[in-house]
Amino acid sequence: MTSAGAPPPASSTHAAPAVPATARSSGTLPASGPSDGRTEVLAGAVVVGVTLLTALWLRFHPGPVFLDHWGFALVHPANGNRYWQRVTDLRSVTVLAVGSVLAAALAVARDRWRALACLVAPTLAVVLTEYVLKPGVGRRFAEVLSFPSGTTTVVGSVAMAWVLAAPPRVRPVVTALAASAVILECIAVVALQWHYPSDALAGALLGAGVVVLVDGILHLGADRMRGRRPAGPVSAGPPAR
């Protein structure tokens, strides 16, 4: 029992911290904390940059490199092999379109910018491969433009889109499945004698790198736009009189 003149006891509860206005306005509340996109931009730029530098080298030295000799020693020719041909079915336009759309649908509720990257970046990577790098480099295998591999670009880009779109709790499993698909695709195009091993690896890296780079650029731009907005306190009701 407390005396009549004693002050009431202090409340032991504390108000929950308010969600920042910028987080509410962005429409995304990532479970692992906000990302400003700089890490993704750096990682994607390094991967894409290495691929472009390799393309520049091969423009003037189109013959096989050390990786090709090593790869051909490990992967024996299997021209016409039905299993490897079925693996290369993953290069289809249907897989590119449906895989991108489904990855975007998986991500959109949690991160609209990531959903946009998953939707457009795989196609961007394929366009870069087929219409810029292949004719620009001019490297040929079996009399066909080959660097980088369009087949592995499709699979690498869609696989990376799914890795980014997957919820964090299942991302390790998705990453393992995606990596397995990319590795099998690289082996398939080499075994079928469609590409040099370096073509296959470059396509996979370019596809994945473009997706990561676009994702980072979109998040970086979104964060900068939010930073330019005037940030004021959230009104809790009419002012006291």
Segment (H or E) for 90: none
236 within domain boundaries: no
The pLDDT profile of the chain, 241 residues, written as one tens digit per residue, is 444 455 555 444 444 444 444 443 344 444 444 456 899 999 999 999 999 999 999 999 999 999 999 999 999 999 989 999 999 999 999 999 999 999 999 999 999 999 999 999 999 999 999 999 999 999 999 999 999 999 999 999 999 999 999 999 999 999 999 999 999 999 999 999 999 999 999 999 999 999 999 999 999 988 888 775 434 444 445 544 4
In terms of pTM, does the model score above 0.85? no
The tens digit of pLDDT for each residue in 196-228 reads 999 999 999 999 999 999 999 999 988 888 775
Q: Name every residue whose Cβ is closer than 8 Å to that of residue 16 and which is 6 or more positions away in sequence.
A: none
Domain that holds residue 159: 34-219
Where do we find the tokens 């987080």?
A: 23
The tens digit of pLDDT for each residue in 8-43 reads 554 444 444 444 444 433 444 444 444 568 999 999
Alpha helix ranges (H) inside the chain:
21-26, 38-60, 66-74, 82-87, 93-107, 112-128, 134-137, 150-165, 171-191, 197-228
84 within domain boundaries: yes
- Count up the domains in the chain and report the number: 1
12 within domain boundaries: no
Q: What is the distance between the alpha carbons of residues 154 and 149, in angstroms, rounded to a whole number?
A: 9
Do 67 and 201 meet the contact criterion of CB atoms below 8 Å apart? yes
203 within domain boundaries: yes
